[in-house]
Chains A and B, each alone.
Chain A
Amino acid sequence: MLRIENLHVSAGGREILKGLSLELEPGTLHAVMGPNGAGKSTLGHVLAGREGYEVTQGSVEFNGVDLLALEPEERAAAGVFLAFQYPVEIPGVNNTYFLRTALNAQRKARGEEELDAMQFLKLVRQKLQVLELKDELLHRAVNVGFSGGEKKRNEIFQMAVLEPKLAILDETDSGLDIDALKAVAAGVNAQRSDERAFLVITHYQRLLDYIVPDRVHVLSDGRIVESGGPELAKQLESHGYAWVKDRQTPEHV
C-alpha cells in the first residue's frame, strides 16, 4: 500500500530525512519511534504534503500512485489521513460543518455522491458512539477552546468519519494524561481493519501499550536504524534512545 524508498528530505537547507525506506501493507499497524530531532514529524508532514519540505531523493508510492506528486487535498481523497501533533484552531468554522465539507470534498474528488445533512448526521452519530466524544464539541468552532485531550480525540473522530486507507498519527499521545491516552487508543483500535494501514509516530513507548503494533521502527538521524516486533518498543523503553543512536542499517555501513 505504502512504499517509501530511500527518501531524502530537506527543510530550510538542512537535510532531515537521509534515506528512509519503509513498507506498509493494508491491515497492519507500524510504529515509528525515535528521539527528538530524528525526523519523525517531518515524515508525517511530507507524507501529507505540507509545504516547506524539499524531497531531494527517493520516492513514495501509495497504491501504485506517486504520492509526492499530489496536492494535500488529492492525497486526502486518495485515502491518506494525518492526525496532527498540534491540531489547528479555526475560529468561526463549525466543527460539524468543517467535517461535512471535508468529507464531501473527498467524495466529490473520488466521483462519489455527496452526503446531505441528514445522511451526514447519521454517520456522525454512529462514529460518536464508538469514540465517546462529547456531542457539544461538534457544535463548537474547530478545536477552539478544546483541551489538549479533546483536540486529539477530535483528530481521531475526524479519522473515523473520513475513513482513510492510511492513517498517520503524529505524536497523538503527546500531552495526554492516561485517561485521554486510553480513550484515544480505544478510538484507534476500533478503527483497525484489514483494509486500513496505520503509521503511528511516537516518542514514547507508552502509547504502544494500548495500541499494539505489528512492527516497530526506530528512526534516528533521518534513517530507520532498527526494525522489529512489538518487543523492540519495550527494549527502547528500558535502554533509551542512546542505545540505537549510533547504529546504522546494514546498507549504510
Chain B
Amino acid sequence: MSAVFESFQQRFAEIPEALRAAGGLAESRAEALAAAVADGLPAPRAERWRYTNLRAFGARSYRAAAGAAVDAALIADIPAPRLAFVNGWLDSALSDLSALPEGVSFRALGRVLPGAQARDVVHLGRRFKQADELFARLNAALAVEGALIIVEAGKTIDTPLHIVSIGAPESAEAAWHLRHLIDLGAHASLTVVEHLLSSDAHAHLENSLTQVHLKPGAVLRHARQQSAAPGAQLFQRIDASLAAGAQYRRVDLDLGAGLSRLEFNARLEGEGAQVISGGAQLADGRRALDTRLQMHHIAGNTSCDLRWRGLASGRGKLSFYGGIHIHAGADGTDASLQDRNLLLSDAAEINTQPVLVIDADEVKAAHGATVGELDAGALFYLRSRGLPEAQARALLTRAFLVEALDALDHSELAETLSRALIDRLEGAEL
C-alpha cells in the first residue's frame, strides 16, 4: 500500500466516532475509504490520469491540518456574506454571514454535521463506483467541512455568496477535504464566488468536491478564482445536475497552485437545460493544470457552450480534455466547445483533447482546439503605436484570456476577475 493511503487511514481513524457516524454515514464513509485503498493509485497510463502524475502524491504522508492564524487583510476585498476555511477548517473570525439575504441558507458543514439527520446531509452519502475516482472516494470518507448552500424555490438572490478556502503554512504537509453543496430550488437564482488563496508558501493538498443541483428553471452563476501558492496541490471536482430549463454559468480562473486538477461534470437531465462555461488558465513557472470537462446531454434541446482559454509559458504544463456526450434521445442538442491556447515557451507543454460522442439525431455540435503563439501582426501594431514589447505582449495575452470571463454574463463580477487576471499577468514572465 502506498504511504499516502496509510496516512489517510490514520486520519480516518482520528475522526471522532460521533462525527463519522453523523447522518447515518458511518458505513458509506468506511466503504469509500476501503474502496480507495483497494483500488489504489490510478495507473500512470490510465486515460483520465494521463496528465496528472500521482507518483509523488502516493509517496507522501499527509498530516491532519491543525489550522493556522491568517491575517484578515488577505480577504479584505472579499465582501460578506462569506464562509472562510483555513486549511480545511471553518474560520469564524474570517467568516461573515451578517448580510445574508432571505431565502438562502448558507452554512458550514462542520456546524450542521454533528447531530445531523440523514436527510440533512443526503449529498454526503453518494457512492463513487469507478476505480479511478480516488479523490471523490477520499472526500466521501474524510470530508467533515465545506459549504452548504440551499436556495428556496422562486427566490432570486442578487447578493453573491463567497466561499473562501485559504491554505496556510504548517509544520508538516497536511491534506483536507472540503465538500460543498449548492442546491437551487425551482426558478431560484444565485451567484457564488469561490476564492482559493494562500497566506504564504505551502505544499498542502486540498481535495474538494462540489455538488450542484439545479431544479427546473434555476439559474446559477458560479465563479472560481484560484490563486493558491505555487506549491499547493489542488484536486477539485464539480458534479452538476440540471433539470429542465436550468442554467449553469460558470467561470474558472486558474492563476495559481503547483498542481491544479479540475474536473467539471454536468448532467443536463431536463429539457432545455444549459451550461455556459468559460475558463482562463495560466500555466507559467513550473505549474501544472489538468482540466477535464464532461458534459452529458441527456434530455432534448439542451445546450452547452464551453469557451476555454489557456496559456503556458516557462516550464508550465496545461492539459485540457473537453468531453461532450449527447445521449440517445437528446435530440435538438446544441453543443459547442472551443479551447484556444497560447504556447509561449519551448519548454512549456499544452495538451488539448476535445471528444464528441453523439448518440442522438438532429443535433448541432461544434468543437475546436488550437495551440498558437501571440499574433505577430497584432504585436507589431501595438508596438508601432508606442507600447513597449513587454506591455504589448501582456495586453494581448490578457485580451486573449479575458474573453472566457464573458460566460458569467455578470459584468461586475467579470470586471473583478479581470482585474485579478491583469494583476497576475503583470508579475508573470511571459
Contacts and interface: CB of A to CB of B under 8 A. Distances in A.
Interface in A47-75: 48-51, 71-73, 75
Contact of B383 (A76, A141, A158, A162): A76
Interface string B361-398: 00000000000000111101111111111011001101
B349 interface: no
Contact of B386 (A88, A89, A90, A162): A162
Interface stretch (B130-138, B157-165, B399-407): B399-407
Given A50-B380, A90-B378, A101-B391, A109 B386 contact: yes
A77 interface: yes
A251 B387 CA distance: 40
Interface in A5-30: none
B380 A72 contact: yes
Contact of A102 (B378, B386, B396): B386
The secondary-structure label for the interface of chain B is: helix
Contacts of B398: 92
B395 A101 contact: yes
Interface in A65-109: 71-73, 75-77, 81-82, 84, 87-93, 98-99, 101-103, 105-106, 109
A91 to B, nearest CB: 6
Contacts, number: 78
Query: Which residue, A87, A98, A158, has most C-beta atoms of chain B within 10 A?
Result: A98
Contacts of A162: 385-386
Contacts of B396: 90, 93
B385 A102 contact: yes
Given A91-B399, A92-B400, A101-B395, A76 B384 contact: yes
B386 A105 contact: yes
Contact of B382 (A49, A81, A102): A102
A97 to B, nearest CB: 9
Contacts of A98: 382, 385, 395
Contacts of B392: 73
A73 B403 CA distance: 27
B381 A88 contact: yes
A72 B377 CA distance: 13
A84 B386 contact: no
| Size class of the contact patch on chain B | 20 to 34
Contact of A103 (B378, B386, B400): B386
A101 B387 contact: yes
Interface string B268-289: 0000000000000000000000
A88 B378 contact: yes
Contact of A49 (B375, B378, B384): B384
Given A92-B398, A92-B403, A73 B387 contact: yes
Interface string A101-126: 11101100100000000000000000
Contacts of B380: 48-51, 72, 88
A93 B383 contact: no
Interface residues of A, number: 31
Best-buried of B380, B386, B391, B392 by chain A (most CB within 10 Å): B386
A89 B395 CA distance: 13
A91 B403 contact: yes
A72 B391 contact: no
Contacts of A89: 378
Contacts of B388: 71, 73, 105, 109
Contacts of A90: 378, 381-382, 396, 399
Nearest to A92: B399
B399 A105 contact: no
Contacts of B400: 92
A75 B392 CA distance: 15
A88 B375 CA distance: 10
- The winner among A77, A81, A87, A88 for most chain B CB atoms within 10 A is A88
Nearest to B391: A105
Nearest to B380: A50
A73 B389 contact: yes
Contact of A71 (B376, B381, B389, B403): B389
A140 to B, nearest CB: 13
A93 B396 CA distance: 8
B385 A84 contact: no
A84 B400 CA distance: 22
Given A92-B400, A101-B395, A77 B386 contact: yes
Interface string B398-420: 11101100000000000000000
Most chain A beta-carbon contacts within 10 A, residue among B381, B387, B392: B381
A101 B387 CA distance: 7
Nearest to B405: A92
B413 to A, nearest CB: 17
Contacts of B383: 49, 71-73, 76
A102 B381 contact: no
A51 B378 contact: no
Taking each of A51, A72, A99, which has the highest tally of chain B beta carbons within 10 Å of its own beta carbon?
A72
A72 B388 CA distance: 8
A67 to B, nearest CB: 13
Contacts of A84: 381, 384
A73 B391 CA distance: 11
B422 to A, nearest CB: 11
Nearest to A161: B385
Interface of A: 48-51, 71-73, 75-77, 81-82, 84, 87-93, 98-99, 101-103, 105-106, 109, 141, 158, 162
Given A49-B384, A71-B388, 4 more contacts: A76-B383, A88-B375, A105-B386, A109-B386
23 contacts: A50-B380, A50-B384, A51-B376, A51-B380, A71-B388, A72-B384, A73-B386, A73-B389, A77-B386, A88-B380, A90-B399, A92-B402, A93-B396, A93-B399, A98-B395, A101-B387, A101-B395, A102-B386, A102-B387, A105-B386, A105-B387, A105-B391, A158-B385
